[in-house]
Amino acid sequence: MRKIVVLSSSDKGYEYEIKVLKQFDDVEFIVSPARTEDEVIDAVRDAEVILFTATKMNERIINSLEKCRLIIRYGIGYDNVDLVAAGKRGIYVCNAPNYGVVDVAEHALSLIFAVAKKTLNMHDRAKSGAWGPGMPPFLRLRGKTIGFIGFGNIGKALCKMTNGLSMKALVYDPYLSADTVTACGAEKVELDDLLENSDFVSLHMPLNENTRHFIGREHFEKMKKTAIFINTSRGPIVNETELIEALEQNVIAGVGLDVFEDETKPLDPRLTSSPNAVLTPHVAWNTDVAVTAIHEEVGDNIVRYLRGERPNSVVNKL
């Protein structure tokens, strides 16, 4: 039997994969709750296909694989898998690049609105029985400038939305041509230009060895004092201590964050108590449509592979 192992604490939600895999007589679909490195090694040793979300697929796990040809992450980011180790063993690594693009863009927009319109502060105020804003005016988005750092699928989807709000868009993404950026109704600029001229700075690049702590104190200092920083990509791209200091010292005016440097422990109280921070616990992908779409995207990709075709969205250049 060809073994497909999904590393997951719950066996719920895999109906689509099970349905499409029924066409193959020699395929076994197993859900494993393995958590520790040793448990994972035991669970996937003889798997041909491994599906995972949060497991750290490190070199030791990858080197223990005896039959694996394909690893697919249920998600867009793939910073928790050792691409080099997988590549050396000829294992395809794939992500699911499409399922949640609109959803993450909408979530980023919701953070922009919440910080700019002080939604949570006003919610608390209304609940306390107070009337009126009790603070300086909120921000009108029309006419403001948003700077995108990283302008792939999610950045472009958000840009369509902010264009619809008549916001101006600046883009820093060294891997895209000016023509591509212009075609999206935005302007390609250098990073410093973006930081100095944006009212909102939104991060949409992947986490990898080049982007860890890409954004820090020097970048916040270049932003307007009134700027709002939004991150729905990955926490470790930002030096979070320096972000918190910038917020505390009014170097920037506000933050909307869905992702954090360490998502295994409670957040820094300076962040959770800040009236200028809107925080969500890495949930931008979690919509009624995306939670189903991700299973379809991954399930269809396994079928491609089992039919002998090259899988979609291979991210390790095999």
The CA-based angle 203-189-163, given to 5 degrees, is 65
Active site residue 2: no
Exactly one of 144, 204, 219, 295 binds ligand NAD (CB under 6 A); that residue is: 204
- Name every residue whose Cβ is closer than 8 Å to that of residue 297 and which is 6 or more positions away in sequence: 96, 98, 99
Give the phi and the psi of residue 172 in degrees, each rounded to 5: -115, 110
Exactly one of 86, 186, 205, 267 binds ligand NAD (CB under 6 A); that residue is: 205
| Strand locations in 125-244 (E) | 145-149, 168-172, 187-188, 200-203, 228-231
**Closest CB 71 distance from ligand NAD, rounded Å:** 17
Which residue is catalytic, options 28, 39, 248, 263? Answer: 263
Piece in contact with ligand NAD (CB under 6 A), picked from 26-34, 94-102, 114-122, 219-227? 94-102
Active site residue 234: yes
Beta-ladder partners of 238: 215
Q: How many residues bind ligand NAD (CB under 6 A)?
A: 32
Active site residue 125: no
Closest to ligand NAD by CB, 57 or 284? 284
Piece in contact with ligand NAD (CB under 6 A), picked from 19-27, 46-54, 203-211, 294-302? 203-211
- Please tell me the distance from the alpha carbon of residue 284 to that of residue 277, in angstroms, as a whole number: 16
Going from the C-alpha of 70 to that of each of 106, 112, 216, 281, 283, the distances in angstroms are: 31, 38, 36, 30, 27
Exactly one of 285, 297, 298, 306 binds ligand NAD (CB under 6 A); that residue is: 285
Query: Annotated catalytic sites, by residue?
Result: 234, 263, 282
* Binding region for ligand NAD (CB under 6 A): 76-77, 97, 100-101, 104, 149-155, 172-176, 204-207, 210-211, 232-234, 258-259, 282, 284-285
